[in-house]
Amino acid sequence: MQLIIFDFDGTLGDTRQNIIKTFRDAIAALRLPERDEKTLAATIGLPLPAGFAQLFPDLSEEQVVLCTSTYREFFERNKKLLVPRLFPGVKETIEAIRSRGIRMSVASSRSSRSLNEFLQEMGVAKYISYVLGADNVTHAKPHPEPVLKTLDELGVTAEDALVVGDMPVDIEMGYRAGVRTCAVTYGNASREALEAAGADFIIDRFPELMDII
């Protein structure tokens, strides 16, 4: 194995409550119908416009743009109130992976600016060889472009890589790119959903990734 491609939200960083609160703040500010936490969490892993379109299918493109900009305004405030943290064992495991000469990257539907800020603040940016956000691709998850672009940029074949994520879209993205996949159950999707998505491996704690390696 030469490369591990990580999702961020729900895989490396525990951002769920921040995302849920920001969705609720934006929805309330725009006077849209409320959505429960499970419904909101089901959009995690999608680009913001796709997430709002899933929550409110009748919105026009202009309304989706307004929702997205409103969300981002609230997110800038909320990330200072609900500071995201790494999940238990993430930093130590990433250090162990790096010591074995295996490169790591992040492919997320979050913006690259936000990703780089979080990785820097969480103290793991120095271990990540490549960061790819929604603004770096034409087609976001579950399209395979984020993985294919990462492989191309780092010169790694699909056979030598592993995608690790917490949502079915992560697993589908990896599968469509011809890369093996590992799902984590502590994020935002159920074990049943991850099994149905066809994950090659499923782990309950991040350090268990070392057993796969």
What pLDDT was estimated at residue 83?
A: 78
Q: What are the φ and ψ backbone dihedral angles of 201, each rounded to 5 degrees?
A: -135, 150
Domains of the chain in start order, with CATH, are: 3-14+85-212 (3.40.50.1000), 16-81 (1.10.150)
In contact, 84 and 91? CB cutoff 8 Å = no
Digit-by-digit pLDDT tens for the chain (213 residues) are 999 999 999 999 999 999 999 999 999 999 999 999 999 999 998 899 999 999 999 999 999 999 999 999 999 889 888 778 999 999 999 999 999 999 999 999 999 999 999 999 999 999 999 999 999 999 999 999 999 999 999 999 999 999 999 999 999 999 999 999 999 999 999 999 999 999 999 999 999 999 999
> What would the two tokens of residue 33 be?
């119908």
Indicate which residues carry an active-site annotation. 7, 9
Q: How many angstroms separate the CA atoms of 57 and 171, rounded?
A: 24
pTM of the entire structure?
0.91
Helices within the chain (DSSP H only): 16-29, 37-41, 48-55, 61-81, 90-99, 112-121, 145-154, 168-176, 191-197, 209-212
Consecutive H or E run containing 103: strand 103-107
Q: How many angstroms separate the CA atoms of 139 and 128, rounded?
A: 22
What pLDDT was estimated at residue 149?
A: 98
What pLDDT was estimated at residue 147?
A: 98
